[in-house]
């Protein structure tokens, strides 16, 4: 994993003391692969003010209505956004807005791009919206809350992410073809063609 800083994010660090757990064991790095996507329930400025306060809350990323991604902690950090169990496992993404508001187009685009980056950073095996075994999770599954209040278009997001994965795989195969041809590796080329035929 890299330094865990999203290249497209505006770095807006949160308080250093609002991450990790000292008890029962010192825990500073998440153990899971995936993200809890939250509804911020307000404006990003208010959320950042709360992050900077004494409130026992913290999260990794904030996405504004305009699609700007703010990052407050490295991806590997244990933040306080979904309850102890979830915090130890998954990154927290807060989306500006309130219940009843759908994500804006720039927010949705920014969220998809962020999740794509996170998946590559952590080696997610798939994009799945499912409790426990998924990589896209909901706060309400782990705490007594309505968050994310139906705001996140998970089906659309997964469809776009899978399309991006398909396109990336096509590009990889094309590069393999070119590499094998340039290297005059005819057996390798036959093997690749056989493998593609077996895939249907």
pLDDT in tens, 88-123: 999 999 999 999 999 999 999 999 999 999 999 999
Domain of residue 191, residue span: 166-200
Q: Pick the residue with more confidence: 125 or 194?
A: 125
Mean per-residue pLDDT over the chain, rounded: 90
Confidence check: pLDDT of 141 > 90: yes
Report pLDDT for 164: 86
> Could you tell me if residue 63 is inside a domain?
yes
pLDDT band at 23 (very low <50, low <70, confident <90, very high): confident
Report pLDDT for 54: 94
Same domain (yes/no): 63, 128? yes
Pairing of strands 69-71, 61-63: antiparallel
DSSP string covering the chain, please?
A: ---S--TTSEE-PPPTTSS-B-SSS-B-B--S--EEEEE-SB-HHHHHHHHTSSSS---SEEE-TT--EEE-S-TTB--SSS-HHHHTT-EEEEESB-TTPPPPHHHHHHHHHHHHHHHHHHT-S---B-TTT-SEE-GGGTSSS-TTTT-S-HHHHHHHHHHHHHHHHHHHHHHHHHHHHHTT-HHHHHHHHHHHHHH-
Same domain (yes/no): 73, 137? yes
Same domain (yes/no): 101, 124? yes
Same domain (yes/no): 40, 137? yes
Same domain (yes/no): 62, 148? yes
Same domain (yes/no): 79, 31? yes
Domain count, the chain: 2
């Amino acid at each position: 994993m890299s330094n865990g800083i999203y290249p497209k994010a505006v770095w807006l660090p949160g308080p250093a003391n609002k991450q990790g757990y000292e008890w029962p064991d010192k825990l500073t790095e998440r153990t899971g692969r995936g993200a809890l996507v939250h509804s911020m329930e307000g404006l990003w400025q208010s959320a950042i003010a709360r992050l900077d306060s004494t409130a026992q809350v913290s999260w990794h990323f904030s996405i504004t209505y305009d699609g700007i991604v703010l990052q407050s902690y490295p991806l590997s950090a244990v933040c306080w956004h979904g309850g102890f169990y979830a915090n130890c496992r998954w990154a927290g993404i807060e989306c500006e807005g309130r219940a009843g508001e759908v994500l804006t187009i720039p927010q949705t685009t920014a969220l998809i791009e962020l999740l794509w980056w996170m998946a590559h950073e952590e080696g997610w095996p798939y994009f799945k919206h499912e409790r426990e075994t998924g990589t896209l999770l909901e706060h309400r599954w782990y705490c007594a809350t309505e968050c994310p209040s139906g705001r996140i278009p998970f089906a659309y997001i997964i469809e776009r992410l899978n399309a991006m994965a398909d396109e990336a795989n096509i590009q990889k195969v094309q590069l393999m073809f070119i590499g094998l041809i340039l290297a005059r590796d005819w057996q390798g080329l036959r093997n690749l063609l056989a493998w593609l035929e077996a895939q249907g």
